[in-house]
Structure 1
């Protein structure tokens, strides 16, 4: 089920209390960005935050579960974890989760940057 623009707008309004968040449509959902870095996605009216080896245990311990989609009838597990509603409703806790996801996205982006070649 595609995500409604009303839901995306309400999420942006909430998250913009904490950081300058923008959204871009993608595959029936939306990517959420801070300063051009995707740190979360919205799919089926749910928010999933970027995880990596550093923050994934925190998300799992809190009872969060990964975003999974079917690709050619095979489940694909993504490195994004569901944001629990009780965290979403508490701005202080939401800030902690949001910062964690942005940091994971930045670490992931740093890994992908090609190393520059030294001039000879």
Structure 2
């Protein structure tokens, strides 16, 4: 599902205080990066944040859901991506709160990838 340009602009506005955000393509969506750390992905009109297991639990406590998609063998869940809480979609301060939390596992993953190269 292609990313809605207006939704992408909204997400970029929400996270503008993080600094320069680079975008990329990811499985038909748009990934958001700070430096080499992918901290969020947009699929259609949904925004998913990078999360490790403890952070995913925090997101779940705020009402977030992990990214899921249908396959021939059933629904596949990607626990490392979880939706931004609805309350943060229109609150830049809350969105930044979550984005800063998501940057931690995103930066760890980026460092691990860089080390393995």
- Do the structures match in fold with TM over 0.5? yes
Q: Deviations over 1:57-102 (max 9, x none)?
A: 1111111100012234432211111012311322222221001111
Which piece of structure 1 moves more, 60-69 or 101-110?
A: 101-110
Call closer, same or farther: CA 1:111–1:18 in 2, change over 3 Å. Answer: closer
Q: CA RMSD in A?
A: 2.0
Q: Which has the higher contact order (CA 8 A, sep 6+)?
A: 2
Call closer, same or farther: CA 1:85–1:19 in 2, change over 3 Å. Answer: farther
Instruction: Name the counterpart of 1:13.
Output: 13
Query: Are the aligned partners of 2:14 and 2:95 in contact in 1 as well (CA < 8 Å)?
Result: no
Instruction: Name the counterpart of 1:101.
Output: 102
Q: TM (normalized to structure 2)?
A: 0.83
Greater fraction helix? 2
Query: Are the aligned partners of 1:42 and 1:48 in contact in 2 as well (CA < 8 Å)?
Result: yes
State which structure, 1 or 2, has the greater radius of gyration over its C-alpha atoms.
1
Gaps of 5+ in 2: none
Task: Tell me how far apart the structure 2 counterparts of residues 61 and 114 of structure 1 sit (CA, whole Å).
Answer: 34
The alignment covers a number of residue pairs equal to: 115
Which piece of structure 1 moves more, 10-19 or 99-108?
A: 10-19
Query: Are the aligned partners of 1:12 and 1:22 in contact in 2 as well (CA < 8 Å)?
Result: no
Instruction: Name the counterpart of 2:91.
Output: 90
TM-superposed deviation, 1:33: 0.6
Q: TM (normalized to structure 1)?
A: 0.81
Gaps of 5+ in 1: 116-120
Query: Are the aligned partners of 2:36 and 2:107 in contact in 1 as well (CA < 8 Å)?
Result: no
